[in-house]
Amino acid sequence: MKLIDRSYKDVLAFVLLIVLSGGIVACDEFSKKLSRKGSDNADDSTHGSVISHSHSKTSEKPHRKVISYYIENSAEPESKNFKINRDKRDYPISAVPGKKITHLNYSFLIPGKVGDNYECVSLDEQPLLTEDLKVKTDLEASQITLKNLKYISKRKDDPDHPLWDVKVSIAIGGWDGSKYFGVAATEKYRDHFVKSCVSIVKHYGLDGLDIDWEYPVAGGRDDNYRMENDQLVYTERLEGVPQEKELFVDLIKLFRTELDKLEKPQLLTIATPIYTGPEQAYDREFNKLENYDFPAIIEVLDWINIMTYDAMGAWDYFRFQKVPDGSFWSTQDYHDGRSIDSILGAKDGKRLNRWAAHIGHQSPLYPMKKEPSEFWDSSVNYLNVDETVKRYLSIIGELNSQKLVVGIPFYGRGWAEVPNNSKVFSKDNEFFKNGEGEFSFEFNCDFDITADAQDTGKWLTADFSFLQAYPVNGQPLLETCISAGVPRTLDYSVYQGNPESYGGYMNSPGTYEAGAYDSAHVRYLIAQGQLSEYFDTKAMVPFAYGETVVDQYGDKQSETKGLFISYENERSVAAKADFVLKNKLGGVMFWVLDADYDYEKKDYPLLNAINGVFAKEN
């Protein structure tokens, strides 16, 4: 246990505790408490005996926490001949560059129903362990999980193992894996659920847990559940479950209690959202940050992984319902007694859409604009790393700055059919000098409902990521725009007979899923001349655009008109790493490691850029 950076008060308390207890147990308990106070380097004490080893590999380690999420895939753990496979990720855990990272969060296990209880299970919702710790499933996802966990467990006895001195936690939940989090966290199921997760940590010799419940109170996917009167109840995204704020506190505290019962100190971290600004306070969906009681849990956490990304994406939409008086209201606002005009504002008789159908940076370091435009509210000033960190520090206190880890997306968000507007994409205009210069998006997106629904109460949905259109006699339903005020009319008659057809209006093919591009994929398209690269020197992030993009990355081919991608390059991630140092934060985490992997050069450009900045720290 290193004490050189601890306060005099902590050291004195430590000495007194040893004297009074005369016991090893008390000393060990105090060691665990100190380990959660944060430190100025990546070599924190919670890794138990592993960090006491002396090995040449550790000398190359980053000076701050560099945390990689590893997403479970179909690759065998020690596969050697992996390649780009656009149907499924094919990146084995043995390829993880252990010398370049300090921590690995294996993603994901999820809360799932097992018998009459809830446990940590595999992605195919199968139990990984029974009471006697024997496997009782042969489904593919479970087998891959088990093979990977067994591979990870071998590292403690093998200094040549790629992950020998990497601290490995299990990430629980995620966007697709939080379906039953609100149930597992209730008093009825919480104890059994937590103990099942901790038993996996113990059995495989892991280093902790990362809790990624998306999201308490606000919910996430539309098919998430909650408990009401001891019954499992389906809950829509916008409804909200206020009691989950307290449930989350109880859950985290119980995780800490159970982890502390293990022989070696264990990490406990959480993944939490970007800040969207106080103006969103009325809306649980967009103001997720206010649904966490950080002061109640900060002392039992090692750090917080802030998901400072996905600020914007092609999924943005608003829903409206025609009510008996003939007017249209947004989903939640109608039930809360607020008119859509009072929420969205009105100009010249048109209702202004705050969130739908616009492009933008998904992870800006600083604001895109100093002042909001007349078509966009001031939340644009908050959707960035800088404002998010300021908000977190205002809640947990400056002294806990080392407990904040900045999230960096190793993927980009893409939009299709974005017009080639010369005010935005020309390098010859006032915004750019040699491809660079100050740049800010001019939001000018409005809409007006021009058609009439035949059935009272039918939902009219403007969803530009996956067009869930409802026929309305073939009349144009919405008039909208993207970028700098370019109008486009959507004719829902095109989708009659197939209400779940993919409209492609704003989304794009992506690497593995629509709208999401691995950074390596974006670099390939730029190198092939399919995309032109730009850099926003105000927000300190790049973006790329191609009027017609012929994509032949990997084993897939596609053609996309007007492809706009917000992503990260070496310059932007270096700026974020420098931001971490200047603000005395704990480090960075990124989603996801293999998205940065250059299959030709067999290297990680973004990861190298981050470590290059951290290596300069004294």
Same-domain pairing of 478 and 546:
yes
Helix (H) or strand (E) holding 153: helix 140-153
**Can you give the pLDDT at residue 61?**
75
**Which of the residue ranges 19-33, 348-362, 388-402 has the most confident prediction, judged by mean pLDDT?**
388-402
Percent pLDDT > 70 in the chain is: 61
**Confidence band (pLDDT; 50, 70, 90) for 178?**
very high
**Can you give the pLDDT at residue 477?**
27
Within a domain: 46: no
Within a domain: 33: no
CA 116 – CA 545 distance, rounded (Å): 52
Same-domain pairing of 389 and 499:
no
Numbers of helices and strands, H then E, in the chain: 14, 25
Residue 238 pLDDT greater than 70, yes or no: no
Residue 617 pLDDT greater than 80, yes or no: yes
**Can you give the pLDDT at residue 81?**
82
**Confidence band (pLDDT; 50, 70, 90) for 39?**
very low
Same-domain pairing of 388 and 287:
yes
Residue 135 pLDDT greater than 90, yes or no: no
Taking residues 166-173, report their average pLDDT.
Answer: 98
Domain span holding position 359: 314-375+411-567
For residues 120 and 196, the answer to whether their CB atoms sit within 8 Å is: yes
Within a domain: 553: yes
Same-domain pairing of 293 and 421:
no
Same-domain pairing of 496 and 367:
yes
Locate 4 and state its tokens.
């050189």
**Can you give the pLDDT at residue 397?**
97
* Average pLDDT of the residues of the chain: 72
Same-domain pairing of 214 and 322:
no
For residues 516 and 414, the answer to whether their CB atoms sit within 8 Å is: yes
Interval 50-91: pLDDT, tens: 222 233 333 467 779 999 999 987 788 999 888 898 888 889
Same-domain pairing of 428 and 301:
no
Taking residues 344-369, report their average pLDDT.
Answer: 53
Taking residues 524-544, report their average pLDDT.
Answer: 88
Taking residues 242-270, report their average pLDDT.
Answer: 97
User: 585 to each of 29, 109, 232, 381, 392, how far by Cα in Å?
Assistant: 26, 28, 40, 21, 11
**Can you give the pLDDT at residue 43?**
52
**Can you give the pLDDT at residue 51?**
28
Within a domain: 427: yes
What pTM was estimated for this model as a whole?
0.78
Task: State the CATH number of the domain containing residue 263.
Answer: 3.20.20.80
CA 201 – CA 46 distance, rounded (Å): 14
User: 257 to each of 32, 118, 254, 396, how far by Cα in Å?
Assistant: 11, 19, 5, 21
**Can you give the pLDDT at residue 531?**
92
CA 441 – CA 421 distance, rounded (Å): 12
**Can you give the pLDDT at residue 394?**
96
Length of the chain, please?
618
Helix (H) or strand (E) holding 190: helix 187-203
Same-domain pairing of 486 and 506:
yes
Within a domain: 3: no
Residue 230 pLDDT greater than 70, yes or no: yes
Within a domain: 520: yes
Interval 308-345: pLDDT, tens: 999 877 654 333 333 344 443 333 333 333 333 333 33
For residues 235 and 224, the answer to whether their CB atoms sit within 8 Å is: yes
Q: Which residue has the higher pLDDT, 110 or 427?
A: 110
Helix (H) or strand (E) holding 120: strand 117-121
CA 285 – CA 307 distance, rounded (Å): 16
Same-domain pairing of 477 and 604:
no
Total domains present in the chain: 2
Interval 501-515: pLDDT, tens: 222 235 678 999 888
Same-domain pairing of 271 and 245:
yes
Among 261, 121, 272, 273, smallest CA distance to 184 is for: 121
**Can you give the pLDDT at residue 32?**
55
**Confidence band (pLDDT; 50, 70, 90) for 379?**
low
Within a domain: 255: yes
Q: Which residue has the higher pLDDT, 132 or 532?
A: 532
For residues 201 and 105, the answer to whether their CB atoms sit within 8 Å is: no
Residue 208 pLDDT greater than 90, yes or no: yes
Same-domain pairing of 503 and 555:
yes
Q: Which residue has the higher pLDDT, 376 or 280?
A: 280
Same-domain pairing of 362 and 404:
no
Within a domain: 173: yes
**Confidence band (pLDDT; 50, 70, 90) for 226?**
confident
Interval 384-440: pLDDT, tens: 999 999 999 999 999 999 999 999 999 999 877 666 653 444 443 333 333 333 333
